């Protein structure tokens, strides 16, 4: 019973904060903070699904690193909302909300009809050992390519930053 309450509260918070990300057009700082709340509530949902590793990664990578990077960029650029289309924004928000509600009304029955039973998985499924084993055996080439691309990006950023200092 308590897991259901936590699930519904976390899902509600995720939906409301995700709407806050989209609807906070004028204040991008509040939109980024709503994104942090969305990521944290999604981590709670992952933990409820017994995917603790993915939940921790959700907090560390997305809420901890990427959104903080967004916040630094927003604060550095000092982005302010403009007057472009300020008179049309309420109308666009209402139209967007109606489109989302209409699509949800059509999709929920369709998705509930095609729902299948969950497959049985072993106790090792989703553990750090299983994910690491798969990552370093089946997807080793993709992992190495991603590492080389990240290294090239870091070297490029250092070279570009060094030229500006000199």
Give Cα 24 to chain centroid, integer Å: 17
Top pLDDT among 98 and 1 is at: 98
Query: Would you state the pLDDT for residue 78?
Result: 66
pLDDT in tens, 100-122: 888 888 888 887 777 777 788 88
Whether 161 shows a pLDDT value over 90: the answer reads no
Reading the block at residue 59, the tokens are: 């907090």
How far apart, in whole angstroms, are the C-alpha atoms of residue 36 and residue 39? 5
Reading the block at residue 158, the tokens are: 């250092």
In a domain, residue 93? The reply is no
Range of the domain at 52: 1-81
Residue positions counted in the chain? 166
CA distances (Å), 151 to each of 27, 36, 72, 155, in order? 34, 27, 22, 6
73 and 130 in a single domain? The answer is no
In a domain, residue 114? The reply is no
Return the percentage of the chain with pLDDT > 90, whole number: 23
Write the CATH number for 57: 1.20.120.1200
2 and 74 in a single domain? The answer is yes
In a domain, residue 116? The reply is no
């Amino acid at each position: 019973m308590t897991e259901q309450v936590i699930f519904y509260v976390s899902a509600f918070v995720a939906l409301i904060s995700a709407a806050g990300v989209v609807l906070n057009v004028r204040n991008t700082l509040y939109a980024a903070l709503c994104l942090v709340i969305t990521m944290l509530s999604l981590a709670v949902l992952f933990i409820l699904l017994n995917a603790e590793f993915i939940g921790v990664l959700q907090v560390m990578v997305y809420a901890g690193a990427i959104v903080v990077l967004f916040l630094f960029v927003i604060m550095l650029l000092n982005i302010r909302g403009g007057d472009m289309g300020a008179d049309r924004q309420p109308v666009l928000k209402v139209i967007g909300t109606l489109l989302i509600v209409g699509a949800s009304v059509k999709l929920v029955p369709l998705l509930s009809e095609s729902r299948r039973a969950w497959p049985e998985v072993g106790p090792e499924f989703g553990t750090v050992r299983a994910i690491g084993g798969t990552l370093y055996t089946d997807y080793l080439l993709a992992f190495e390519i991603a590492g080389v691309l990240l290294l090239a990006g870091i070297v490029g950023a250092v070279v570009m930053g060094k030229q500006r200092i000199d």
